[in-house]
Amino acid sequence: AQSVTQLDSHVSVSEGTPVLLRCNYSSSYSPSLFWYVQHPNKGLQLLLKYTSAATLVKGINGFEAEFKKSETSFHLTKPSAHMSDAAEYFCVVESNTGNQFYFGTGTSLTVIP
Amino acid sequence: GAGVSQSPRYKVAKRGQDVALRCDPISGHVSLFWYQQALGQGPEFLTYFQNEAQLDKSGLPSDRFFAERPEGSVSTLKIQRTQQEDSAVYLCASSSPGAQGFVLGYEQYFGPGTRLTVT
Return the higher-pLDDT residue of A2 and B44.
Answer: B44
CATH assignment at residue B40: 2.60.40.10
B38 has a chain A CB within 8 A of its CB: no
Mean pLDDT of chain B: 92
Q: What is the CATH number of the domain that holds A77?
A: 2.60.40.10
Q: With a cut of 60, say whether residue A71 has pLDDT above it.
A: yes
Q: E-strand spans in chain A?
A: 3-6, 10-14, 19-21, 23-26, 33-38, 45-50, 56-58, 64-68, 73-78, 87-94, 101-103, 107-112
CB B89 within 8 A of CB B21: no
pLDDT, position A41: 78
**What is the domain count for chain B?**
1
Under an 8 A CB cutoff, do A43 and B111 touch? yes
| Torsions phi, psi for A82 (to 5 deg) | -115, 155
pLDDT at residue A53, rounded to an integer: 75
Q: How far is B103 from chain A (nearest CA, A)?
A: 6
Residue B56 has pLDDT above 80, yes or no: yes
The residue range of the domain holding B85 is 5-118
Tell me which residue of B33, B35, B20, B12 sits closest to B80, measured CA to CA: B20
Q: Give how many domains chain A has, as a whole number.
A: 1
Tens-digit pLDDT profile for residues A22-69:
999 998 788 889 999 999 878 899 999 998 778 899 999 999 999 999
Backbone angles phi, psi at B77, to 5 degrees: -105, 120
Q: Does residue A98 have a pLDDT over 80?
A: no
**Range of the structural domain that residue A17 is part of:** 3-112
Q: How confident is the model over B66-75, as a mean pLDDT?
A: 96
Spacing of C-alpha A35 from chain mean position: 4
Choose the closest CB to B103 out of A36, A52, A98: A98
Q: What is Dmax (Cα atoms) for chain A?
A: 43
